[in-house]
A and B are shown apart, each in its own frame.
Chain A
């Protein structure tokens, strides 16, 4: 069984593509995905992650997970109270098994749209955030409102040795975000504060995009990492119609390789 599990929504595709192209460089990793916010419809049973028909959700939780999603899109989850498609089927299609057996897995990497580093997408812009306020915001986004909070807590109870890591998707696909010197000082401070604080919450650590993948403004992701990203995401989740319509933020295998090399591999 794999030592690491990478689990997420369509953003997993970038990491999966990179892994498939560079398999000899990395250890054994299992990949599973479910589209959009369908991962909420999972539960932990005897140390396994399985699909569920229902989930207790509210708009705040959905918005934290996918801040840029249109309200109408999120409302569908609340109105239907069901995943867009059975999660077991999606696990089967992406990982080859309807349930995720954790076996020897020692670390789970959750790859999805939400990350504390998404401060631009979360509407903070270049406004500085004090460390005190950042603690409040991290507490909200990770400890209280994270979509998979209950599952992670269950896993921590049932598999105490298992480590949990969060890999957020890129901050912004647009390179035209400009900041003056004051804004840049704020961005640097925000990044430093998040780096200091984020691992004190639900996750053992959180991936932070570094200067190698970011524009000089440290907010937008460099354009080269978006080339063909969309196709990869569709390929990985070829049965996910929502992904096709809302696909503006997917990075490519080059970005996935960066995630694998700088964050996943050192923690396996």
Chain B
């Protein structure tokens, strides 16, 4: 539309005052307009950092077909399933915080990469360093670990081959890796098992280019697995700030760097490919209109009300929820001490290995 200046005629979402200040943080109009719809017929796979657990949970609750390639043994008590890495994502890979970790998983499945130095000791037990939180007591032997890993890879292969939609939440740029092989781990050796040997392991903060390349490689690898069968990808960026940084920067700066890079990559990938969309969960939780109310008192954990707001927006946009879900109200500004997610009822405690860092970082 012609006007006196290029901003004339733009929608109200283009302006801070009308798009943010006067809008409810629970429903920012025009913030998310899906490139494609997902339906309850689509087979959806989820993975990513711990915030992605909530996406899977909400989609399941709305009868979406969230795939479960590694279901829990039926007689494993319900209350223990998450502790063993079940019912959290579409496979038992635990949290996949980084793009390089995701690429590595696909490459390992295809036999293009053999991870090294991932069998960690934890007392008498053995820990799979590539998913160190899925066995609370570790494995009894290295052989047991490898048999479990081989089965896991088989299941993830089937998952990647059969999914219609892949929802991935980018979490971190800060990674720990094996110096010799480049094997990337979700946590630093020494936290959930193993021992941090500076000669063997190193910290690496991914650059924009590395994240973009890793995601592009992942798409190529999965396409090879699927022999060209179409796939839709929805990317999100975790709104959860870093628990700790090893970058030498202040944790606020480190968080800003990490989220900026991930957000930029997600946006560029979505702009470059018709089959990739970006869902702005990061913006929904962290935007100034929310006034930080979606975070609990540790200013890091996303409250259930925040998760509900994000997922309600997602579902509405996909034609599932046209109204606010029952019981969902804007968070009152003076709420303090709201309980974190519990295992009972609709909410759930997200499993985040990085939270363990709090025990080390004070």
Contacts and interface: CB of A to CB of B under 8 A. Distances in A.
B241 interface: no
B147 A124 contact: no
Contact of B140 (A67, A119, A193): A193
A132 B135 CA distance: 8
B73 A137 contact: yes
Contact of B148 (A63, A128, A136, A140): A128
Interface string A20-35: 0000000000000000
B344 to A, nearest CB: 18
Interface string A141-178: 10001000000000000000000000000000000000
Interface of B is mostly: loop
A132 B136 contact: yes
A178 to B, nearest CB: 14
A133 B140 contact: no
B151 A183 contact: yes
Contacts, number: 70
A185 B137 CA distance: 21
Given A128-B148, A133-B84, A64 B75 contact: yes
A246 interface: no
A124 B125 CA distance: 23
B11 interface: no
Q: How large is the interface on A (under 10, 10 to 19, 20 to 34, 35 or more residues)?
A: 20 to 34
Nearest to B74: A123
Given A136-B80, A185-B147, A122 B73 contact: yes
B242 to A, nearest CB: 30
Which among A63, A123, A128, A133 has the highest number of chain B CB atoms within 10 Å?
A: A133
A182 B75 contact: no
Given A123-B73, A123-B74, A137-B73, A130 B140 contact: yes
B154 interface: yes
Interface string B139-151: 1100110011011
Given A133-B73, A189-B144, A193-B140, A127 B84 contact: no
B193 to A, nearest CB: 13
A186 interface: yes
A106 interface: no
B151 A141 contact: no
A255 interface: no
A131 interface: yes
A64 B73 CA distance: 12
Contact of B75 (A122, A128, A180): A122
Contact of A133 (B135, B143, B147): B135
A189 B140 CA distance: 11
B70 A127 contact: yes
**Interface majority SS (helix, strand, loop, mixed), chain A:** helix
Interface in B183-202: none
B77 A189 contact: no
Interface centre among B74, B76, B140, B143 (most CB of A within 10 A): B140
Contact of A182 (B74, B76, B151): B151
A130 B80 contact: no
B151 A131 contact: no
A77 interface: no
A19 interface: no
A207 interface: no
Interface residues of B, number: 22
Interface in B41-94: 70, 73-77, 80, 84
A131 B126 CA distance: 11
A200 to B, nearest CB: 14
A128 B139 CA distance: 11
B239 interface: no
A186 B150 CA distance: 9
B147 A131 contact: no
A98 interface: no
Contact of B151 (A132, A140, A186): A186
Contacts of B171: none
A15 to B, nearest CB: 26
B306 interface: no
B139 A130 contact: yes
A50 interface: no
Contacts of A127: 70, 73, 151
A133 B135 CA distance: 8
Contacts of A185: 147, 150
A126 interface: yes
Interface string B154-175: 1000000000000000000000
Contacts of B77: 136, 140
Contacts of A145: 75
A219 to B, nearest CB: 15
Nearest to A127: B151
A130 B34 CA distance: 42
Contacts of B148: 128, 130, 186
A129 interface: yes
Contacts of A132: 125, 135-140
A75 to B, nearest CB: 18
A128 B144 contact: yes
28 contacts: A64-B75, A67-B74, A119-B73, A122-B75, A123-B73, A128-B147, A128-B148, A130-B140, A130-B144, A130-B148, A131-B140, A132-B125, A132-B135, A132-B137, A132-B139, A133-B73, A133-B76, A136-B80, A137-B76, A140-B75, A140-B76, A140-B77, A145-B75, A182-B147, A182-B154, A185-B150, A186-B147, A189-B143
Given A140-B75, A183-B151, A189-B144, 10 more contacts: A64-B75, A67-B75, A122-B74, A130-B137, A130-B148, A131-B140, A136-B80, A182-B154, A189-B147, A193-B144
